[in-house]
Chain A
Amino acid sequence: MDKTISEKIISEHAGRELKAGDIAVVNVDLVMSQDGTGPLAVSQIKRMGFSGVKNPEKSIFFIDHAAPSPRKELSNSHIVLREFAGQTGSVISDAGEGVCHQILAESYTCPGDIVLGGDSHTCTSGALGAFATGMGSTDIAVGYALARTWIMVPETIKVNFGRKVNKGVFAKDLIIYLIGKITSDGATYKALEFGGEVGSILSMDERFTISNMAVEAGAKTGIFPSDSITKEYLKSQGRENCFREISSDKEAKYEKIMDIDCSLIEPMVSQPHTVDNALPVNNLEKIMVNQVFIGTCTNGRLSDLKIAADILKDKKVASGVRLIVIPASKDIYLETLRTGILETLIDSGAIVESPGCGPCVGIHQGILGDGEVCLSTQNRNFKGRMGNPNSFIYLCSPATAAWSAVKGYIADPREVLL
């Protein structure tokens, strides 16, 4: 039987042939949680009577959501994770290392893996051809303890990004446009599989952005076939030996195929308070911004900060606007430092903070005031997301964010890029 990527990976991990709709207990390769979900996972591991984890070197605890800690309760949660990781030999990725999804991409996820994460954006690792999905703390606790989980093999929606991408339009615009089409629950329980003539030549940074947001359409995972671009990326990370080619078979059964003509896509925003509330920037009325945030597991990578620096070079952030920039990992931080990207950004007026989730989760490093508007490259704009239910979040690409920071209102980056 011809299979989709998801059917292949899950069948391999179950040790039997499975198709969409089947339910199976499977082995998993990587299990992770972060400082928001890890402490509850640790207490559940203990409650179930387990004294350790099954595969310590593949069990990772990230301290990234509130890192460094802004208050004592969270500092104490961090201690719980450090102590448990120490006792069990698990991996701890501490404050300053970066956002969990970026670190998984750089150092852990391999094509064909099943990755369980106590974080909904675990689907980011799907860009490497892995079956990566978010779960809650108890599922993650079981994953740590047994290196197993139960899973329903999802139906797959194949998304073909076709034609060509216009100048000033980026991966973030593609995925916001797509979520606008699918809606916030149109892919619930399903896998999104990305391809097409544009999809197959996207860089790894672009693929991570797209896979990262699959969950915003409700999807279980967002997966790219692994290919020469994946291989090059793994090689650049010194992990070439974990490369394997994985793609759907020719006659694989898709629930639906969506053909997206990328040449019709303009720079996009998601308006408050849902990601599928998508609109071309050009169709917006003039929206003044108080804060612009460039970073996160969606768009805090090297190419993201580079395009922002290209736009902000020799320009200044508009008066009254706070521009916050956070590289997604320490490696990206160092690279932006070496290449002068950070200097350009700081020169323009940007505030640079240490690698991590930053203000995206509403804990620290840029909480919004009442009535304030933030334009952000993050993946979610739900009411209250950035720490204040009386504020407004718009989502966009790093180029749109950078140019809007200069203008002081949400502006089309093609004004400066063309």
Chain B
Amino acid sequence: MSEGKKNSEILRGRSFKFGDDISTDLIAPGRLFHLRSDLPELAKHVLEDADPEFAGKVKPGDFVVGGRNFGLGSSREHAPLIMKMAGVGAVLAKSFARIFFRNSINVGLPALICDTDKIDEGDILEIDLKNGIIDNKTRNLKLQFNPLPEVMIKILNDGGLASHITKNKGFNL
């Protein structure tokens, strides 16, 4: 299944709630720098310093739900990459730090801006990527998320930046 098809799908999963200012140090800490050459191993530690149990609990398709300024800090693409490898279906936040946001799209992890106060830990969500709707099944509440810039939709639909470049033999934005 290509990432392109995924974009028109409905994503379903549980919410794992995090606070404001979740830094890349909390997602992929510097003390595990040596594991960047062993990403499956690094993924076992994803978000460990924010919630030591998260990596053991997350199931494929679940959502990471943060507050303000999610992913601030380092440019390490490993942060969204290991979230994706751990099975995270999308990351939702009130706002994202710039580099993390760009990296998420580049690795094919949807990063969605919405009012995450309306989502609690463990809520079941259905996300319609194409129409920009988050259906909080637990609270029977529909949320909208801001549409991505068109260039980012193209990159996401191509399965991330590397696939976009390979497919188009350069930029085609």
Contact = CB atoms under 8 A, between A and B. Distances in A.
Say whether A and B bind each other: yes
Interface of A: 23, 25, 36-37, 39-40, 44, 47-49, 65-66, 71, 73-74, 76-77, 117-120, 122, 134-139, 141-142, 145-146, 148, 150, 152, 184-185, 188-189, 218, 220, 274, 361-363, 367, 380, 382-389
Interface stretch (B57-65, B124-132, B158-166): B158-166
B38 A73 contact: yes
Contact of A142 (B74, B107, B161): B161
B165 A188 contact: no
Contacts of B31: 362-363, 367, 384, 387-388
A40 B33 contact: no
Interface in B106-164: 106-107, 149, 151, 160-162
Nearest to A367: B31
Instruction: Give the one of B23, B69, B78, B98 with max A CB within 10 A.
Output: B98
A362 B69 contact: no
Contacts of A40: 36, 77-78
A342 to B, nearest CB: 27
Contacts of A148: 170-171
Interface residues of B, number: 41
Contacts of B49: 383-384, 389
A136 B97 contact: no
B170 A146 contact: yes
Interface string B36-49: 11100000000001
Contacts of A380: 25, 73
A66 B33 contact: yes
B78 A25 contact: no
Contacts of A150: 151, 171, 173
Contacts of A387: 29-31
A40 B73 CA distance: 18
Given A25-B171, A77-B36, A189-B98, A274 B162 contact: no
A120 B77 contact: no
A388 B117 CA distance: 30
Contacts of B170: 146, 148
A174 B151 CA distance: 37
Nearest to B70: A185
B66 to A, nearest CB: 12
Instruction: Give the one of A36, A138, A363, A367 with max B CB within 10 A.
Output: A138
B151 A36 contact: no
A77 B72 contact: no
B10 interface: no
Given A138-B77, A363-B34, A384-B30, 18 more contacts: A23-B173, A37-B75, A40-B78, A48-B165, A48-B166, A66-B33, A77-B36, A119-B75, A120-B74, A122-B75, A136-B75, A139-B103, A142-B165, A152-B149, A185-B95, A363-B33, A387-B29, A389-B29
Contact of B106 (A48, A136, A385, A389): A136
Nearest to A75: B34
A139 B161 contact: yes
B26 A383 contact: yes
A122 to B, nearest CB: 8
11 contacts: A36-B76, A37-B76, A40-B77, A66-B33, A77-B36, A118-B75, A138-B161, A274-B21, A363-B34, A383-B26, A385-B25
Contact of B33 (A119, A188, A361, A382): A361
A213 B26 CA distance: 20
B68 interface: yes
A176 to B, nearest CB: 16
Nearest to B104: A136
Instruction: Give the one of B38, B95, B165, B173 with max A CB within 10 A.
Output: B165
B23 A134 contact: no
A39 to B, nearest CB: 6
B6 interface: no
Given A25-B173, A120-B75, A383-B23, A362 B30 contact: yes
B78 A384 contact: no
Instruction: Give the one of B25, B30, B160, B162 with max A CB within 10 A.
Output: B30
Contacts of B78: 40
Contact of A185 (B26, B97, B165, B173): B97
A184 B69 contact: yes
A47 B162 contact: yes
**Cβ-closest 8 pairs across A and B:** A362-B30, A136-B77, A136-B103, A73-B34, A185-B69, A382-B23, A134-B75, A382-B25
